[in-house]
Amino acid sequence: MKKILAVQFKYFGDAVFLIPSLLAIKEKFPNSELHLLVAKEIAPVFSNLKYIDKIWAVPRIRGKFNFFELFPFIQALRKCNFDRAVDFGGNDRGAIFSFLCGARIRLGLVESKLKILQKISYTDRIDSHILPTNYIHKNLNLLNSWGIYNFHNIKPQIIASVNLKKQAQSVLKGRTIICHLGTSQPKKEWPIKKWQEFYIRLGNQQNLVAFSSGNSKRERNLLVNLKKLEPDIFVLPIIKSLDLYLAVLNEAQLFISGDTAPLHFSHALGVRVVGLFGIYGSMQYASPIYSSKEKVTGSACLCIGHLEHFEHCRSKKSCMNSIQPKEVLNLVNFKRIKNPQF
């Protein structure tokens, strides 16, 4: 049986976009054994997908690669005798593992100028500039050189653990709408005052809503600040397990946020979403994935070019601040929420 290794070291949300490509590989090579190599923290996203035969979860410290610490892991990887490998990330870590896995055919994505490491690591290289900007289509089109052209399943689908269903329900305590405040950068966040106005406009549907954020101190402070304004809001506890977090998302009927990672997770779980998009990167890469009924977009963002990488918005008028609570509320559609308590 032939063995194929797919590699990706990207951010949390980007991992979801890999799923249609994994399914396309399995459909093209149905008798092959499909392995996936990803960072350990993101592995639970793929753990219940039956067409993935083995997941290699690599411990990762950003900016560091300890070859000697990973040597036993690399030895086990090489013993699999992979026929093919594809690196969807195009970064140094993915290139190194592509080379070390020992596959005869090694396909890799080149995001910018070709590096010596990429020349050594990949036998076949594709320039990302000739591929679509949409992440899902970019990953799929990377596989053209393997004869994979017809894509029947382009919507990502992940499956939450059924064993965690009751625990997830106890965390939500009957809430059906999750409003997620935090993101990786402050400029991506909808202002607290806007969340407060949205909450007030909910009126007698407020008991349907649970507020959440990431686990960092900065993001948890967003919840603290909102609770000062609205003491009665229900706040989800810190959830450190990604398995449990996915199970909690799966129990919701609507997820609202400007944070693309949990937004992509919810969408792939089949949960209805409302994405809040304003900043340039989100508008360009994440927003096109969602329909007009699944997103609200802000005014044109001026944080482009050298301003794009700042954590705080450099525009005089914040694009996220231009999103109005009434616009978000119009997409909630309580008629689609089971047993709403009026």
Classify each residue of 18-53 as buried b or exposed e, where b means 16 or more C-beta atoms within 10 Å of its C-beta: bbbbbbbbbeebeebbbbbbbbeebbbbbbebeebe
DSSP 8-class letter at 329 = H
pLDDT for residue 63: 62
At 47-56, the pLDDT tens digits run 999 999 999 9
At 29-66, the pLDDT tens digits run 999 999 999 999 999 999 999 999 999 999 876 666 67
- Per-residue three-class SS string for 221-262: HHHHHHHHHCCCCCECCCCCCHHHHHHHHHHCCEEEECCHHH
pTM value is 0.90
pLDDT bracket for residue 342 (50, 70, 90)? very low
What stretch of H or E contains 34? strand 33-39
CA distance linking residue 251 with residue 170, whole number of Å: 10
Domains observed in the chain:
3-146 (3.40.50.2000), 162-336 (3.40.50.2000)
Please say whether the beta carbons of 103 and 84 come within 8 A.
yes
Averaged pLDDT score across all residues of the chain: 90
C-alpha torsion angle, residues 183, 186, 189, 192 (rounded to 10) = 120
Place of tokens 């017809």: 150
At 202-253, the pLDDT tens digits run 999 999 999 999 999 999 999 999 999 999 999 999 999 999 999 999 999 9
Strand partners, 198: none
